Structure 1
């Protein structure tokens, strides 16, 4: 069995377990994200992918160990982790819909500015250069945005906090192929800028294409793992996630 051996682990998850009552939603999950890596978790709906992210963030109670940026979080707590550089873009893309695009972005950087970081304008310009469409729409209410623009805003808002690790939950969910492609291009760009990324994604083909390392989660357990390029060629992965049923994913990812 592989493990993701990296020089500088940014996130190390050891034996993570989550139970809803008597039902184990996640069993003994082990996962590593190295500095500057894109790591993806793929798997069917209901396999526990969102549970995994929520437990890492401390939104859900869990057993096991979460070590982030060299510190063991025995009981992960959202505020502390966010303050230390963990960012999550949830699948629901919750935005403040009556507020403008720019105010949503500024809120993303709020914690940093409260601590005395005064580079709000240059951070905004960085986000706008990544997402030119948000620049065009900066005065509009978030409610008026399309699905793809909402996703860009959700990612942009998380980036305003200058996270060391960005966790993305199903970023391509419900988006048109062209937009999906754009989101994945941005994910690759972010890595170039030194942001490490943990990507939970149903579109296995696109995810394996951008990631360095991949985990396959099935019914709450990590069933397979390895370098993304190897997994993309693994007959079991091809059969389950990249086979005939996912021909439409081929179109989405190309």
Structure 2
């Protein structure tokens, strides 16, 4: 079995004549967090949407050894991909627990006992959600809403979680809390592709990183190296610090 859960080779995405992503190649190893950092307009979200099949792209996408660049988004979910968008897309008038249960729809055939086990697993990762299980989602704080979005995605039992700007709009203290929760997902055996504008927080959380500028990968490597790279420090650490 390959050490990489996700392998991308030469992925390009265009909006008409605008090339948003250009010949991007990257790897997400099994059980690791890989982050993609870069400024607004770099193509980070476009890259994530193409990986999930929500935008058409050219190139190769291999998940768990299986080519999936022509697969529909639903098929990619069935293969084990999960997506949390920056909008979080919660049902505000439903309770925390009902939002979570909706996330297990793909596994509905496994029965109630299996769903309850997944609920308890999510509550173990996010105890605050258990405390607020009966609360309406619209009454949660920003950090709690992000945890709920993560928890709902986990209810589908993904092997790879694609996260788009989980720190967006959150205070620095809450950013640390949310990214600590992301690190716990890795500890639970889930691979993560983390799209982030907050470079410092992302590199402190992930194992490997890619720097995207104008749709192209301009730098890659272990996050321990990228954190001290002069270009990353001068360009991103001041602009995107916590």
Q: Distance in 1 between matches of 2:93 and 2:64?
A: 35
Q: Secondary structure at the match of 1:119?
A: helix
Tell me the residue number matched to 1:133: 128
> Which of the numbers 162, 178, 182 marks the counterpart of 2:157?
162
Tell me the residue number matched to 1:201: 196
Q: Are the counterparts in 1 of residues 2 and 65 from structure 2 also a CA contact under 8 Å?
A: no
Tell me the residue number matched to 1:145: 140
> Aligned residues, how many?
242
Tell me the residue number matched to 1:20: 15
2:14 is equivalent to residue 34 of structure 1: no
Q: CA deviation at 1:116?
A: 5.4
Q: Are the counterparts in 2 of residues 66 and 76 from structure 1 also a CA contact under 8 Å?
A: no
Tell me the residue number matched to 1:78: 73
Q: Secondary structure at the match of 1:233?
A: coil
TM-score normalised by length of structure 1: 0.92
Tell me the residue number matched to 1:217: 212
Q: Distance in 2 between matches of 1:135 and 1:74?
A: 37
Q: Distance in 2 between matches of 1:72 and 1:31?
A: 15
TM-score normalised by length of structure 2: 0.96
Q: Distance in 1 between matches of 2:224 and 2:230?
A: 12
Distance 1:136 1:226, change over 3 A: same
Q: CA deviation at 1:74?
A: 3.1
Q: Distance in 2 between matches of 1:92 and 1:79?
A: 19
Q: Which runs of 5+ in 1 are unaligned?
A: 1-5
Q: CA deviation at 1:120?
A: 0.9
Aligned 1:1-254 pairs, distance under 5 A: 8-114=3-109, 118-243=113-238, 245-246=239-240, 249=241, 252=242
